[in-house]
Amino acid sequence: MGAFLGSVLIAGCYVSQSRQSLYIEQLFVRKDVQYHPDLHVGTALIKYVLQHKEEIESFFHASFHDAKVEPASQALTGYYEKLGFRNTNDSLNTFRKRI
């Protein structure tokens, strides 16, 4: 999934599936818009992915019960918690949200 400003890609989100879970593999946002107070591109992109779960399920020929992320740093855990993800307390520092 991608977010564009005009014709310029400003954010992207890679997803995959495993064990009836939708994995948000990577989320990237261009630095020049990352902290823009009005855009919230990363948040909007994650919400878009979760709201379009049926399309992603169709692509993967799978059914998802939850979404999972592995924050790249400790600083991002609060960000994902604000979006409703909860730490699963596993060795991979995975966060999960029922969808």
Domain locations along the chain: 7-98
Whether 92 contacts 65, CB under 8 Å: no
How distant, in Å, are the alpha carbons of 28, 71, 83 from that of 97? 20, 13, 9
Check residue 57 and give its pLDDT. Answer: 95
Check residue 66 and give its pLDDT. Answer: 95
- CATH code of 7-98, in short, is 3.40.630.30
Q: What is the pTM of this model?
A: 0.84
Q: If we measure between CA atoms, which residue out of 6, 8, 50 comes closest to residue 27? A: 50
E-state strands within 1-99: 2-5, 8-18, 21-29, 66-69, 86-87, 95-98
Q: What is the tens place of the pLDDT at every residue in 22-70?
A: 999 889 999 999 888 888 899 999 999 999 999 999 999 999 999 999 9
Check residue 89 and give its pLDDT. Answer: 83
Q: What is the tens place of the pLDDT at every residue in 58-96?
A: 999 999 999 999 988 888 899 999 999 999 987 778 999
